[in-house]
């Protein structure tokens, strides 16, 4: 009888230990996903924001599924996403350019402990870009996400065919993927023009080609007043965005990376 009581007590203790262990593990997981991470908004102030896992899930909804998952896993694992912006002179690598505006906005929102952005601007065609040292430099950066401009505007001026642009984009993506298999890609067009005829068709053809090949495409042209040539003219200078044009482009990308209810 005594041995039976001991056996019963041992079984009860065993299940109690398992239950306590389960509750402890559950609490740890819950804390990881709900605990806000303090983010610096401005380096010269003490102002901070709390980005919870639930908030993160809400703001990344415009991004491709694979990139959404990347943000979530990186947040939970308390690591950093390395993003590179790559493009032609449309990129605007200067104080009022869209790339700098987006870099500042995203790093302030997500915090540089979660998101780091580098910018690579190349003055030339996609063919010249491929033959330059930049692709190797980008690989050395070990990006997790490559946000790539298609170079079609530079290629158009440089007499590079649409087919060659498409081939160059795929070659660059494959070059990165060979070295960094986990890297994700999003391609966007250069800036629109006010009265072009063939250029918009070429850009659309590239979009269809990339999407057919399973490469995510972000079309910021939807935010530009393309149907109004006079208004478009006020956003460009010598075929490239002026300060106001860069603002429109930047806002489109920021809304893409930080979804908000309108």
* pLDDT band, very low/low/confident/very high, at 247 (cuts 50, 70, 90): very high
* pLDDT band, very low/low/confident/very high, at 22 (cuts 50, 70, 90): very low
**pLDDT greater than 90 at residue 155:** yes
Q: Looking at residue 9, what is its pLDDT? A: 52
For residue 176, give both structure tokens: 């990165």
Distance, CA of 54 to CA of 50 (rounded, Å): 11
The pTM assigned to this predicted structure is 0.81
Task: Give the phi and the psi of residue 200 in degrees, each rounded to 5.
Answer: -60, -35
**What Å distances lie between residue 116 and 47, 52, 87, CA to CA?**
19, 19, 18
For residue 45, give both structure tokens: 């102030």
Distance, CA of 151 to CA of 11 (rounded, Å): 69
* pLDDT band, very low/low/confident/very high, at 24 (cuts 50, 70, 90): very low
- Contact criterion met (CB below 8 Å) for 202 and 196: no
The count of other CB atoms within 10 Å of the CB of residue 29 is 10
**What Å distances lie between residue 141 and 6, 107, 115, 120, 162, CA to CA?**
63, 17, 14, 11, 29
Q: Looking at residue 252, what is its pLDDT? A: 98
Enclosing H/E stretch for 201? helix 198-212
Q: Looking at residue 32, what is its pLDDT? A: 40
The count of other CB atoms within 10 Å of the CB of residue 255 is 14
The contacts of residue 217 (CB under 8 Å, 6+ apart) are 186, 187, 188, 207, 210, 211
Mean pLDDT, to the nearest integer, of 192-213? 96
pLDDT tens for each residue of 57-104: 999 999 999 999 999 999 999 999 999 999 999 999 888 999 999 999
């Amino acid at each position: 009888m005594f041995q039976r009581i001991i056996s019963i007590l041992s079984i009860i203790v065993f299940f109690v230990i398992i239950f306590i262990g389960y509750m402890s593990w559950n609490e740890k997981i819950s804390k990881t996903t709900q605990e806000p991470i303090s983010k610096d908004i401005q380096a010269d102030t003490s102002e901070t924001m709390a980005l919870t896992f639930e908030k993160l899930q809400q703001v990344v909804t415009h991004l491709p599924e694979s990139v959404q998952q990347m943000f979530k896993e990186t947040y939970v694992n308390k690591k950093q996403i390395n993003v590179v912006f790559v493009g032609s002179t449309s990129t605007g690598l200067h104080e009022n350019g869209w790339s700098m505006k987006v870099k500042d906005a995203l790093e302030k929102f997500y915090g540089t402990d979660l998101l780091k952005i580098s910018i690579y601007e190349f003055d030339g065609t996609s063919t010249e870009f491929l033959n330059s040292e930049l692709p190797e430099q980008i690989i050395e950066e070990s990006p997790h996400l490559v946000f790539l401009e298609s170079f079609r505007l530079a290629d158009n001026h440089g007499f590079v065919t649409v087919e060659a642009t498409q081939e160059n984009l795929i070659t660059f993506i494959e070059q990165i993927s060979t070295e960094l298999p986990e890297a994700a890609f999003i391609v966007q067009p250069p800036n629109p023009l006010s009265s072009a005829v063939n250029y918009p068709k070429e850009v659309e053809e590239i979009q269809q080609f990339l999407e057919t090949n399973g490469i995510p495409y972000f079309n910021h042209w939807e935010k530009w007043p393309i149907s109004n040539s006079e208004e478009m003219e006020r956003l460009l200078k010598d075929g490239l965005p002026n300060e106001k044009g860069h603002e429109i482009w930047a806002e489109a990308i920021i809304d893409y990376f930080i979804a908000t209810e309108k």
